[in-house]
Amino acid sequence: MSAQELEKTAQAMVAKGKGILAIDESFPTIKKRFDNITIESTEGNRRAYRDLLITNPGGAEYISGMILFDETMRQNTADGTPFPEALIKQGIMPGIKVDAGAKDLAGHSGEKITEGLDGLRDRLAEYRKLGAKFAKWRAVITIGDGIPGTGCIEANAHALARYAALCQEAGIVPMVEPEVLMDADNTIDRCYEVTEITLNTVFNQLYRQRVTIEHTILKTNMVISGKKCKTQAGIQEVADKTVRCLLRTVPAALPGIVFLSGGQSSQLATAHLNAMNKMHPHLPWPLSFSYGRALQDDCLKTWAGKSENLAAAQAALLHREKCNSLACLGEYTDKMEQAV
Ligand code: 13P
């Protein structure tokens, strides 16, 4: 892919009013999600569920790309069309999760390092042949007693930068995802502090590894209170602190920023994104979404593994996609939730 194509792909990922649907759950993660609706994580059930997500009529109006898992990249729709081809036909770009998961970081109790660099050049070449336009790598930063340490942040940022450089070499846009987890009891200000140092370190490493910022998408957490924190910051505070943190750390040359939902409720993830775009309409980059749970939760519950629920499940997904598309424009209101 030429430089122009990489730039075009990156810009199309964050086109006005569009975002990314993350459906790249690994085997252990999809099992957890299926356990919640008491269905077994078999190859057939995973295919049926991803088929529903991928072939949802009308989704292309709000969704620019979907992040797939390796298995999904090689599966077909019910009529035998490979999933990547089914997406391309709708005008949706296939993306692929290429990291091999977060493992314990030696010498750093409670902290993780994302693996998957070995052999990545060859895997990227294959994914490109299968139709991938962009790839995702998730680094996990945990907030806790005395953590994160500099060693963990630097190791993860370095791996993200090496992955991003390999992606661009292969003609694939890297979606660089440093995720500061929101599961602890920390305040929003602690999240701000950790997110700021993480993003600074990541962009420093991207520069060191000669990654072209114009051909990169950032996927990050919002600056938010830890789930177990007694005082939960309101929507406006989350929006303002997230935007301030990004303005201080992210180069203006970046084509766009998308957020993960990280365990926020579906409606709150939408409301936060909307508040950022409504109150801060003149940022250097578009702010959009790349949610997994916050787009899929209602859909998955509605489906419950039963084919007779397929249309209702697809409608639930489309509703969340539409709400988040409007949130990209700052035009979402919670009245839209009552119409369902
Ligand atoms: P959540 O929106 O469920 O956090 O997932 C997004 C994602 O892709 C995490 O890597």
Supply the DSSP string of 103-158, one letter for each residue: EEPTT-TT-EEE---TTHHHHHHHHHHTT--EEEEEEEE--BTTBS-HHHHHHHHH
Q: What is the largest CA-CA distance in the chain?
A: 53
Ligand 1 atom 10: the closest Cα is on which residue? Answer: 138
pLDDT in tens, 185-222: 999 999 999 999 999 999 999 999 999 999 999 999 99
Range of the domain at 196: 3-338
| pLDDT at position 2 | 86
Rounded average pLDDT over 296-322: 98
Q: What is the sign of the dihedral through the CA atoms of 221, 84, 38 and 40?
A: negative
DSSP state, 161?
H
**Number of structural domains the chain divides into:** 1
Predicted confidence at residue 340, as pLDDT, reads: 59
Per-residue pLDDT, averaged over 39-51, amounts to 98
The mean of the pLDDT values for the chain is 98
Distance between CA 242 and CA 235 in Å, rounded? 11
pLDDT exceeds cutoff 60 at 163: yes
Q: Choose, from 136, 219, 241, 322, the residue flagged as catalytic.
A: 219
Q: Residue 339 has what pLDDT?
A: 63
Instruction: Name the one residue in this structure whose structure tokens are 């979606």.
Output: 175
Q: Which residues contact 311 (CB under 8 A, 6 or more apart)?
A: none
Q: Average pLDDT of 127-143?
A: 98
92-120 pLDDT per residue, tens = 999 999 999 999 999 999 999 999 999 99
Question: So what's the pLDDT on residue 130?
Answer: 98
Confidence of residue 13 (pLDDT cuts 50, 70, 90): very high
Whole-number Å distance between alpha carbons of 298 and 266? 8
Residue 1 predicted with pLDDT over 60: no
Residue 41 is encoded by which pair of tokens? 């994580």
Length of the chain: 340
Which of 25, 97, 112, 177 is catalytic? The answer is: 177
Q: How far is the CA of 135 from the centre of ligand 1 (A)?
A: 14
Higher-scoring residue by pLDDT: 1, 75: 75
Supply the residue whose CA is at minimum distance from atom 9 of ligand 1.
260
Structure tokens at 232: 């939960």
Task: Give the DSSP H/E element, type plus range, for residue 204.
Answer: helix 188-208
Q: Which pair of tokens denotes residue 208?
A: 């060191």
What six digits make up the tokens of 74? Answer: 């090689």
| Averaged pLDDT, 153-178 | 98
Task: Give the CATH number for residue 139.
Answer: 3.20.20.70
With bands split at pLDDT 50, 70 and 90, how would you rate the model's confidence at 338? confident
In this model, does residue 156 exceed pLDDT 70? Answer: yes
305 closest CA partner among 36, 76, 79, 56 = 36
Predicted local confidence at residue 332, as pLDDT: 98
Q: What confidence tens digit (pLDDT) does each residue in 57-71 have?
A: 999 999 999 999 999
